[in-house]
């Protein structure tokens, strides 16, 4: 009982991309985590596909009692349609097609409502957010009394001292996509006084999903988790290599923060704000004296992260 009580309570809010689904798998391998709920933002996904993917992965791990809630909010700047289709591809793999799931796990509540409800019921909750922050911001705007229950927010978002990854005709490539999807919510997020650990492109740029890593993962294909993870990551191969775009372990690195020692990731206290208008909507920038302090990941022990992910995926469901 004491060991159970000491588990780290986590609400996972994701937006359904391949990296988000892999993050869910990684999170479910963490024995020290009590996953309270999974909420989904309809950003880098088609919501119905991402919901089914989430339900099936939870069922694979024997965790299909965990509630799921869908976001009903839509950002200002839509993700490219070809990116949003990736959960549909993942759902076509044989292991996914044949996996039964608990349809009753889908809550009738919207994602922001479920987040607010759970934060009123629990304290010292870690929020892991690998998509835009709209659901959390809506929950706080609806019920500010939940703020004290948030022990920390780990957010994969932003680009502070490096270029962003938004390449649109009306943008200057200063923003990262999760912050850009809903720049107004992103700006609000930095006004609540939450302890934010920002896993921005400054840190994730050192972790490309390349063939060397995929080969190491393939060597573990006898383990069911490694096998499925390798299939998921293989759907990104059309962007590896590319003169315009490379797939990185954005969300997987953010998820790893819940388990890795301090020697693996270094953070810098930075005062940040977010711009909301073209041509740099969603840009997270240093603003001394007029922003909110956040812990920005600035250095990563790449090999330690890769070794951790490979070890966690070396298992069966």
Residues 293-301, mean pLDDT to the nearest whole number? 97
Residue 74 confidence (pLDDT) above 70: yes
Q: What's the DSSP call for residue 202? A: H
pLDDT computed for residue 2 by the predictor: 44
pLDDT computed for residue 5 by the predictor: 60
Residues 204-219, mean pLDDT to the nearest whole number? 95
pLDDT computed for residue 46 by the predictor: 94
Which parts of 71-110 fold into alpha helices (H)?
81-84, 86-90, 94-97
Q: What does the pLDDT look like over 129-166, one tens digit per residue?
A: 999 999 999 999 999 999 999 999 999 999 999 999 99
Q: What does the pLDDT look like over 83-109, one tens digit per residue?
A: 898 888 999 999 999 999 999 999 999
Q: What does the pLDDT look like over 11-36, one tens digit per residue?
A: 999 999 999 999 999 999 999 999 99
Burial class (CB in 10 A: 0-12, 13-18, 19+), 262: exposed
- 201, 158 contact by CB (below 8 A): yes
- 140, 126 contact by CB (below 8 A): no
Indicate the SS3 state at residue 105. Answer: helix
- Spell out the residues 6+ positions from residue 274 whose beta carbon is closer than 8 angstroms to its own: 158, 179, 183, 186, 187, 189, 190, 282, 283, 284, 285
Binned at pLDDT 50, 70 and 90, residue 6 comes out as confident
- 289, 33 contact by CB (below 8 A): no
pTM beyond 0.75: the answer is yes
Joined tokens for residue 70 = 């869908």
Tell me the percentage of the chain whose pLDDT exceeds 90: 87
Cα separation, 71 vs 66, in Å, equals 16
């Amino acid at each position: 009982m004491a060991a159970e009580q000491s588990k780290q309570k986590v609400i996972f809010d994701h937006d359904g991309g391949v990296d988000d689904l892999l993050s869910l798998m990684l999170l479910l391998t963490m024995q020290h985590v009590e996953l309270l709920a999974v909420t989904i933002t309809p950003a880098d996904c088609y919501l119905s596909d991402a919901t089914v993917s989430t339900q099936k992965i939870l069922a694979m791990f024997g965790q299909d009692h965990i509630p799921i809630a869908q976001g009903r909010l839509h950002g200002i700047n839509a993700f490219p349609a070809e990116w949003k289709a990736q959960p549909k591809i993942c759902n076509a793999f044989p292991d996914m097609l044949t996996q039964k799931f608990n349809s009753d796990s889908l809550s009738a509540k919207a994602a922001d409502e479920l987040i607010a409800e759970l934060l009123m019921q629990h304290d010292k909750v870690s929020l892991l957010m690998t998509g835009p922050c709209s659901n959390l911001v809506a929950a706080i705007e609806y019920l500010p009394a939940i703020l004290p229950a948030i022990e920390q927010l780990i957010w994969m978002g932003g680009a502070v001292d490096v270029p962003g990854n938004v390449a649109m005709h009306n943008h200057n490539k200063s923003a990262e996509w999760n912050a850009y999807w809903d720049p107004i919510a992103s700006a609000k997020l930095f006004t609540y006084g939450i302890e934010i650990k920002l896993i921005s492109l400054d840190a994730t740029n050192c972790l490309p999903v390349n063939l060397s890593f995929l080969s190491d993962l393939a060597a573990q294909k006898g383990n069911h988790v490694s096998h499925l993870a390798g299939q998921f990551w293989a759907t990104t191969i059309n962007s590896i290599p590319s003169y315009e775009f490379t797939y990185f372990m954005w969300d997987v690195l953010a998820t790893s923060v819940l388990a890795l020692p301090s020697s693996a990731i270094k953070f810098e206290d930075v005062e940040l704000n977010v711009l909301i208008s073209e041509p740099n909507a969603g840009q997270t920038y240093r603003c001394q004296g007029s922003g909110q302090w956040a812990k920005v990941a600035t250095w990563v022990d790449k090999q330690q992260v890769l070794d951790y992910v490979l070890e966690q995926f070396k298992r069966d469901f």
